[in-house]
Amino acid sequence: MRLIILEDASVVADWAARFVLQRIKEFAPGPGRHFVLGLPTGGTPLGMYRRLIDFYREGKVSFKYVTTFNMDEYVGLPRDHPESYHYYMWHEFFKHVDISPEHAHVLDGTAEDLAAECQRFERLIEEAGGVHLFVGGIGPDGHIAFNEPGSSLVSRTRVKTLAYDTLEANKRFFDNDISKVPSKALTVGVGTVMDAKEVMILITGAHKALALSKAIEEGVNHMWTVSAFQQHAQALFVCDEDATLELRVKTVKYFKSLMGEHNKLIEDHS
């Protein structure tokens, strides 16, 4: 596991976008050879999307041969609802780059048969050859995607009932009215994300400091589902200083001493 500690959320956004850029470039996608990218929504990755849009506009990257899979979607929100993750992805990222809509997969939370929709999504990931890089975010309770505390660490894409903490955290998007937050979501499983070749988790803010310490300094535990990534061969946690507040000084010092190595991951060799 790598822990990349950066000054603040804007540096995290820039670093994460450069990492995605390098991975896509190194893969050299083309016809019949798509780079497969897993993506989150939420506040944390917004800056990364903005930087990726900049890189696209500067001609540094194309998404023509990139296939994406989003982590999750609320149940019952139509895709044109401003709080649906379809809407978020389209407005915050997809419409600004050259990705083909048919390659940008978001779970359909309005499907008649939600279980079948989840199976279809897993099948699509398999048919795409698996995810090369899954980018994720976590909640203050350590959930990754909508894998709430207590979720199986080998779970696959499925319907989940959201935890009270998640409803509380997300009510800010629904007029601060918790009763308006959908209580269920479709989400990739921890196992689905674990199958990706590489996983990059973005964590910013003091409110996520406990989750980060549970994720990396204690044992694998289904009450902090993000801790599962201790058992992933290629996992990176990219965080800001505030998110390190609950870590041991020794942990912070060690990973900071590796920054020279970590920054090689975002060097442009072209």
List residues with catalytic annotation: 72, 141, 143, 148
Closest to ligand F6R by CB, 99 vs 190, is: 190
Q: Which residues contact 210 (CB under 8 A, 6 or more apart)?
A: 140, 246
**Contact residue for ligand F6R among 3, 24, 77, 138 (CB under 6 A):** 138
**Contact residue for ligand F6R among 4, 71, 114, 125 (CB under 6 A):** 71
Comparing CA positions, the residue from 240, 231, 227, 238 lying closest to residue 265 is: 238
Size of the site for ligand F6R (CB under 6 A): 13
Residue nearest to ligand F6R (CB): 137
Instruction: From 110-118, 141-149, 242-250, 262-270, give the range in contact with ligand F6R by CB under 6 A.
Output: 141-149
Q: How far apart are CA 184 and CA 153, in angstroms?
A: 19
Site for ligand F6R in 72-91 (CB under 6 A): 72
Q: Does 158 bind ligand F6R (CB under 6 A)?
A: no
Instruction: From 28-36, 140-148, 192-200, 239-247, give the range in contact with ligand F6R by CB under 6 A.
Output: 140-148
Closest to ligand F6R by CB, 29 vs 189, is: 189
Q: Which residues contact 120 (CB under 8 A, 6 or more apart)?
A: none
- As beta bridge partners, residue 240 has 6
**Contact residue for ligand F6R among 13, 125, 145, 243 (CB under 6 A):** 145
Closest to ligand F6R by CB, 57 vs 172, is: 172
Phi/psi for 203 (5° steps) reads -140, 115
Min dist CB 187 to ligand F6R, Å, is 7
The two three-digit tokens of residue 270, written as one number? 């072209």
The two three-digit tokens of residue 108, written as one number? 């359909």
Closest to ligand F6R by CB, 37 vs 65, is: 37
| Residue 145 near residue 106, CB atoms below 8 Å | no
Q: Which residues of 188-227 are buried (b: 16+ CB within 10 A; e: fewer)?
A: bbbbbbbbbebbbbbbbbeebbbbbbbbbeeeebbebbbb
Q: How far apart are CA 132 and CA 34, in angstroms?
A: 10
Site for ligand F6R in 21-40 (CB under 6 A): 40
| Residue 226 near residue 142, CB atoms below 8 Å | yes
Q: Which residues bind ligand F6R (CB under 6 A)?
A: 40-44, 71-72, 137-139, 143-145
